[in-house]
């Protein structure tokens, strides 16, 4: 049975354009995988606390060696990592806020990037431990940044998930959403057409 992890990072939850595109893809995935499991992580509905030194140390401490306080601090990161480990497919709804990823998503990044658990260091550099997963990124943007130096998201997402071992990454962009109704509708339709082609 396949498992899909859906991560929506829009401040507007299901009302955000990136979430809507992500939801469209998940609906198509459900049709093709009726026995599959979907885990939904809405970072607006369930904000993740920013990483602190204490949370970091708790996560890096072996579970059997954690104090009661460390167990409590590491619990959230442990849950996020377990969701990620279970997933065969990841659907990420990604808006652009102030030329970067939402801070809630960055917090998620910080919790799941755990040395010795999701990646390990070697003499040749870090090696990801979460392989054989496919990531679909539904990137919704008010302006048009793809292919320019202002697109700070694409490489960040690729590099981050690559650190974890997720190298099969597919982007579906909807740009210019704040540049008038006609441009918005064209961009959203193009993204939906891309979703249809991926589902097919």
CA dist 44 and 25 (Å) reads: 19
Bridge pairing between strands 119-122 and 125-128: antiparallel
Rounded alpha-carbon distances, angstroms, from residue 78 to 44, 74, 84, 85:
19, 6, 10, 10
Is 150 annotated as contributing to ligand binding? no
Query: What element of type H or E holds 21?
Result: helix 17-32
Rounded alpha-carbon distances, angstroms, from residue 27 to 3, 34, 91, 141:
13, 10, 11, 22
Within 31-182, strands assigned E span 37-42, 89-95, 119-122, 125-128, 134-140, 168-174
In the chain the first and final C-alpha atoms are separated, in Å, by 20
Is 1 annotated as contributing to ligand binding? no
For the chain, give percent helix, strand, coil, nearest 5.
Answer: 45, 20, 35
Is 23 annotated as contributing to ligand binding? no
Is 19 annotated as contributing to ligand binding? no
Alpha-carbon 182 to chain mean position: 29
Is 9 annotated as contributing to ligand binding? no
Residue ranges for the known binding site for FMN are 10, 96-99
Residue ranges for the known binding site are 10, 96-99
């Amino acid at each position: 049975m396949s498992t899909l992890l859906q991560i929506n990072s829009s401040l507007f939850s299901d009302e955000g354009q990136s979430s809507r595109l992500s939801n469209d893809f998940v609906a198509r995935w459900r049709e093709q995988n009726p026995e599959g499991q979907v885990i939904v992580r809405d970072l607006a509905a369930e904000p993740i606390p920013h990483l602190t030194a204490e949370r970091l140390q708790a996560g890096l401490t072996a579970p059997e060696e954690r104090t009661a306080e460390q167990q409590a601090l590491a619990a959230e990161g442990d849950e996020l990592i377990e969701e990620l480990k279970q997933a065969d497919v990841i659907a990420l709804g990604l808006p652009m806020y102030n030329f970067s990823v939402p801070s809630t998503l960055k917090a998620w990044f910080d919790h799941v990037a755990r040395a010795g658990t999701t990646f390990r260091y070697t003499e040749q550099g870090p090696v990801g431990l979460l392989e054989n997963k496919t990531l679909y990124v539904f990137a919704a943007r008010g302006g048009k940044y793809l292919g320019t130096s202002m697109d700070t998201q694409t490489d960040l997402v690729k590099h981050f998930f690559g650190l974890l071992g997720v190298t099969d990454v597919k982007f579906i962009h909807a740009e210019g959403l704040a540049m008038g109704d006609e441009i918005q509708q064209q961009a959203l339709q193009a993204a939906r057409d891309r979703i249809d082609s991926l589902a097919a």
